Amino acid sequence: MKRHTAKFMLALSFIAVVLLAARPDPIKEKAKGLKDYYSKFFSIGVAIRPTDPSNHDQRTLILSEFNSITPENAMKMGPIHPQENTYFWRDADSIVAFGVQNKIKVRGHTLCWHAQTPDWLFVDSAGKDVSKKVLLQRLKSHINTVVSRYKGKVYAWDVVNEVIADDSTYFRKTKWSEITGEDFVEKAFEYAHEADPKAILFYNDYNTEIPAKREKIYRMLKNLLAKGVPIHGVGLQAHWSINTPSREELEKSIQLFSSLGLQIQFTELDISVYTGRQGGQMIQGQGQMQAAVFTPEMEQKQLEKYKMIFEVFRKYPKEITGVTFWNLSDKYSWLDGRGRKNFPLLFDTNLKPKKAYWEVVKF
Ligand code: 9MR
């Protein structure tokens, strides 16, 4: 009797193991990823943190869906160059190594920005503002060091980020513009080009579908090109919402910027389920994170917006060379840190494709 029971139990566990192993995992089973659906159009990227590839499921998702990565924060001036004579390479190195090992393209982000700058950058040892000459020397040394380290591994750089104002003025007032005027912009491109002549160099900004800001960015890019500054592309960040942008404004931006002969990449795509201002200047949310509700109405509106923007993207395969999502899934996104949970991406909090995903790949 006992022997029979043991055999029976053994058989049962064998069947259970076979059944479990055969259970389809939708992520692994899904034969095609975004990168495959869009292989004839442009690369599909994702902004990641150094910890993302260490998590098995997140790593699997990155590898099955994307063929480009951008470090979300690891290469910014503050994190990578905390003191004048100290660079912190670990996080950026690990992301670049992950890309190289898996033959995934790496976009560098970002060499010159007004946010996330290290404390030492603009001041001397007495705490006084440095001269224009010193600041440009520091910028040159920073760009040369970072770009040289990843030469041949990082194929494109966001060289300068967000220098155009959102209000009615032209240039954003920052420490950079206060000390150097507008000159740091062209200098940054020159330094990056010197360090890696093969890298594709981008100017990167948000709210690029708002007519007034679009015009100002266009004007600046046109001036830079007229001066022979080595700039090859414009990064339209695409921090959008379920209400914006309209199809018309989106197309106008693509047409206007590509008329300059620049390639276009959508560099930081997400679609907030809340309306309101997006981008680097959004006002911080107050208080506790609000209840995480992704309502059917949000789901529907977001799905329609994703469907529309990808329809537009597919119309411009020559002009657009890449579309990068800003974070991997709704489990974590930078928009959560604004006092409420958001659901801006194509994969849900369990890393499963949302309904919007299927609209994006249905064509
Ligand atoms: O996603 C980034 C977030 O983790 C950082 O806290 C934030 C700091 O300002 O920067 C976020 O990324 C920004 C990007 O580098 C440039 N464009 C706007 C993005 C969202 O703020």
In terms of pTM, does the model score above 0.85? yes
C-alpha 115 to ligand 1 mean position (Å): 9
Q: Please tell me the distance from the alpha carbon of residue 216 to that of residue 249, in angstroms, as a whole number.
A: 15
* Residue 336, ligand 1, Cβ within 6 A: no
* Residue 116, ligand 1, Cβ within 6 A: yes
Residues of the chain falling short of pLDDT 50: 1, 24, 29, 278-288
Q: Please tell me the distance from the alpha carbon of residue 333 to that of residue 23, in angstroms, as a whole number.
A: 30
30 by DSSP, 3-state: which? coil
Which tokens go with 213? 């800001």
pLDDT in tens, 169-222: 999 999 999 999 999 999 999 999 999 999 999 999 999 999 999 999 999 999
C-alpha 30 to ligand 1 mean position (Å): 31
Q: Please tell me the distance from the alpha carbon of residue 174 to that of residue 63, in angstroms, as a whole number.
A: 38
Longest CA–CA span in the chain (Å) reads 91
What is the per-residue pLDDT for 290?
A: 57
Closest C-alpha residue for ligand 1 atom 8: 116
Contact 326, 334 (CB under 8 A): yes
Q: pLDDT above 90 covers what percent of the chain? A: 84
Enclosing H/E stretch for 307: helix 296-315
When the pLDDT of each residue in the chain is averaged and rounded to a whole number, the result is 91
Strand partners, 241: 272
What is the per-residue pLDDT for 14?
A: 60
Please enumerate in sequence order all residues whose Cβ is within 8 A of that of 9, keeping only pairs 6 or more positions apart, or say none: none
* Residue 334, ligand 1, Cβ within 6 A: yes
Q: Please tell me the distance from the alpha carbon of residue 39 to that of residue 30, in angstroms, as a whole number.
A: 16
Helix (H), strand (E), coil (C) string for 240-276: EECCCCCHHHHHHHHHHHHCCCCEEEEEEEEEECCCC
* Residue 78, ligand 1, Cβ within 6 A: no
In this structure, what DSSP letter does residue 338 have? G
> Considering only the top CATH level, what class is 49-279+288-361?
alpha beta
**Selection from 189, 249, 179 nearest residue 220 by Cα:** 189
* Residue 67, ligand 1, Cβ within 6 A: no
Please enumerate in sequence order all residues whose Cβ is within 8 A of that of 30, keeping only pairs 6 or more positions apart, or say none: 64, 353
What is the per-residue pLDDT for 284?
A: 41
Give yes or no: 319 in active site.
Answer: no
Q: Please tell me the distance from the alpha carbon of residue 167 to that of residue 149, in angstroms, as a whole number.
A: 37
Residue tagged active-site, from 162, 190, 209, 359? 162
Please enumerate in sequence order all residues whose Cβ is within 8 A of that of 114, keeping only pairs 6 or more positions apart, or say none: 161, 162, 163, 172, 174, 175, 176
Give yes or no: 162 in active site.
Answer: yes
What is the per-residue pLDDT for 293?
A: 86
Q: Determine the atom of ligand 1 nearest the C-alpha atom of 161.
A: 16
C-alpha 326 to ligand 1 mean position (Å): 9
